[in-house]
Amino acid sequence: TTRSWDFIGLQESATRNAQAESDIIIGVLDTGIWPESESFNDKGFGPPPSKWKGVCEGGLNFTCNNKIIGARYYGGSRPNSTQSARDGDDGHGSHTASIAAGNRVNNVSFFGLAQGTARGGVPSARIATYRVCQPDGCNDEDILAAFDDAIADGVDIISISLGEAEATDFFEDTIAIGAFHAMQKGIVTSHSAGNQGPSYGSTASVAPWLISVAASRTDRLFIDKVVLGDGRTLVGKSINSFASPATRFPLLHGKEVSSQCSENNSMYCNEGCLDKKLVKGKYVLCKSNSGDFEAFAAGALGAIVRNEPYIDFSDVVALPAVLLSAKEHDLVLSYVNSTKNPQASILKSETIKDAEAPTIASFSSRGPNFVTPDIIKPDLSAPGVEILAAYSPLDTISFTFDDPRRVHYTLLSGTSMACPHVSAAAAYVKTFHPDWSPSAIKSALMTTALPMSDAKSLGGEFAYGSGQINPVAAVRPGLVYEALKEDYIIMLCNIGYDAKKLQVLSGDTNTTCPKLPVTASPKDLNYPSMAAEVFPAKPFNVTFHRTVTNVGLATSSYKAKIVTNSKVNIKVEPEVLTFKSLNEKKSFLVSVSGSGLPVKSRLSASLVWSDGTYSVRSPIVLHTQS
């Protein structure tokens, strides 16, 4: 990417542990990879690390190198599938892999836009590609097979940017299952939270042993301008890489360039409505936000479309096209209706600095977690909007247009793009702390995350979790909240799994469910954030038990500070934690009491432990459902 790593503070000049980074293997479960991309060439890479136990079985027309050290594909026997790990049908896998671990590649842009040095978060790391998606989708059985292989192959991090539409039971959720066994082997799994936002409870990534990632915006905002014949300039959205024209062109309303549709269908530029002869050499004004697809198909010169329902990101367009807000679209409509020969010119997109960033994209799936409401999901956020990264030179550069341009780098948005940022950030932390457990790495990323603004991101903590990752700070978190297999087993006991099943899950016949108080809940898991669902309109008194491990200064004293705007009483006991050695553990209680919350509401606060050097922040959320 050419901006996102700088934006979250992982500059090219950041301190790196080069040898350790070269030994990191990121397993990417996706649509495969384009091995010839410059982002994946192996110049300067030595042979795979000795711990690597995987293979290069990438199938047809696929060769590994010392950067892409492993390749497998699944589902190749299905009709219309490909027996290859080559990302030849989609480009998504090349994009996500390069965000995580792509090489530094100078002077990359999308037809001049977003120009810079493209790089992954850990450019020296190795990639193992597991192609689990074929043109007909990504099947559970293939995803599970890839987890089975990746764990055994010896990857350090699993990055998986795909998911279900809604949350399911942990053991009917293949990503949760795979991530559980990955966690047992010390492997971090980073998972996209989903693109079903901003609906309440829309995230399907709910297991506490994986990292669920929301998509945030960087400060690079794409805008596009249209200049009307009367000289007015309106600003909209799109990634329009076509050169600004020297002259203006006729601008016609969709209903004026249709010969076979109703007025209503043609004003929206619905499919099949635009007449090829009438649109030639003209811009078309469409009331639908997807009118540009029809304008492109009909051979129009360009399109002005309406941002309704509202989206807050820009997509690549295959012709000069701009998405205008309803208000501005109405201005253009008024101009077209009141002018004899309306004209316009649609300029090439440009990027400006977005002072509001970071904010969470509207599409990013939100909590609460419908399986365990006492665990906040998503866990944290990372850049996932308009990310420039490697792409396969396919027949089309867009998922929706039949755009004939071939590119090696393109811009995509989604929690798919946010997820590999966290994969790389976890890898970066691991290069400094190779013996840390997945939960310690996750804790480091969560407690050092940049707080985000509730007012700017609908859903607050249910949108951004603990905030936006800060990989450099995560290397030195001070304290970590660690949870191991046994802790997750107790949490599963809490939510009703019987000990016999949990023995099978853990592979340990000594696994038992402790006698738990009736108040026991997943909120007691030693998680880096704290949440509890309470009954609406009833007084509440909730206690969180937590234990932190000292990974900062051997001798240190941390003071608790509560940050909140809510009318709530929060007590921390003890308020001071004194450590005398590294890896020493200290426990504390956080009690939250109040007089009652309305239905479907959320109360937020933060607990910050600080010793003057390190700052360890955990969000606290109490919420009600209907």
Partner 1 sequence: GASTEEKKVHIVYMGSLPKGQYSPLSRHRSMLRQTVQLDSSVETSYIRSYSRSFNGFVAKLTDSEKQRLSNMEGVISVFPRKTLQLQ
Catalytic residue among 22, 92, 379, 413: 92
Q: Where does this chain bind partner 1 (CB under 8 A)?
A: 30-31, 90, 92, 133, 136-141, 143-145, 147-149, 151-152, 161-165, 169, 171-172, 174-175, 177-178, 181, 184-185, 192, 194-195, 414-416, 419, 501, 504-508
User: Is 354 among the catalytic positions?
Assistant: no
- Of 152 and 599, the one with the shorter C-beta distance to partner 1 is 152
Q: Give the whole-angstrom CA distance, residue 235 versus residue 322.
A: 8
- In angstroms, what is the minimal distance from the CB of 604 to partner 1? 26
> Cβ atoms within 10 A of the Cβ of 47, count?
9
Q: What is the sign, positive or negative, of the torsion defined by CA atoms of 120, 122, 125, 130?
A: negative
DSSP for 378-408? S-EEEE-SSEEEE----S-SSSSS------S
Give whichever of 127 and 151 is closer to partner 1, judged by the CB atom.
Answer: 151
Q: Which is nearer to partner 1, 216 or 415 (CB)?
A: 415
**CA separation for the pair 483, 8 (Å, rounded):** 27
Give CA angle at 601 (520, 625), nearest 5°.
55
| Residue among 231, 351, 349, 341 nearest 283 (CA) | 341
**Cα distance between residue 532 and residue 605, in whole Å:** 12
Q: What minimum distance in Å lies between the beta carbon of 388 and partner 1?
A: 18
Smallest distance, Å, CB 140 to partner 1? 5
3-state class of 273 per DSSP? coil
DSSP H or E stretch at residue 479:
strand 479-481
- 226 vs 505 by CB, closer to partner 1: 505
Contact call for residues 572 and 564 (beta carbons, < 8 A): no
Q: Which residue has the tokens 């239905």?
A: 599
Q: Which is nearer to partner 1, 160 or 279 (by Cβ)? A: 160
| Token representation of residue 15 | 């301190």
* Tokens, residue 322: 């701009």
Dist CA 16 CA 19 (whole Å): 9
Indicate the residue among 204 and 273 with the shorter CB distance to partner 1: 204
Dist. CA 438–CA 553, nearest whole Å:
21
According to DSSP, the residues that pair with 142 across neighbouring strands are: none
Instruction: Work out how close the CB of 121 gets to partner 1 at its nearest, in angstroms, rounded to a whole number.
Output: 19
**Residue 75 gets which letter from DSSP?**
-
Contact 27, 159 (CB under 8 A): yes
CB nearer to partner 1: pick between 254 and 414: 414
Q: Of all helices (H) and strands (E), which one includes residue 486?
A: helix 485-494
- Alpha carbons within 13 angstroms on the beta-carbon side of residue 165 total 0
Q: How far is CA 574 from CA 477, 486, 529, in A?
A: 20, 26, 18
Q: Which SS3 state, helix, strand or coil, does residue 82 take?
A: coil
Query: Considering the complex, what minimum distance in angstroms separates the CB of residue 194 from partner 1?
Result: 6
User: Which residue's CB is nearer to partner 1, number 321 or number 483?
Assistant: 483
Instruction: Report how far residue 463's alpha carbon sits from residue 602's, in angstroms, rounded to the nearest whole number.
Output: 12
Q: Pick the catalytic residue: 6, 22, 23, 30?
A: 30
| Residue 92 annotated in active site | yes
- Smallest separation, CB 434 to partner 1 (Å): 20
* Least distance from partner 1 to the Cβ atom of residue 56, Å: 17
Shortest spacing between CB 622 and partner 1, in angstroms: 29
Catalytic residue among 81, 202, 416, 443: 416
Residues involved in catalysis: 30, 92, 416
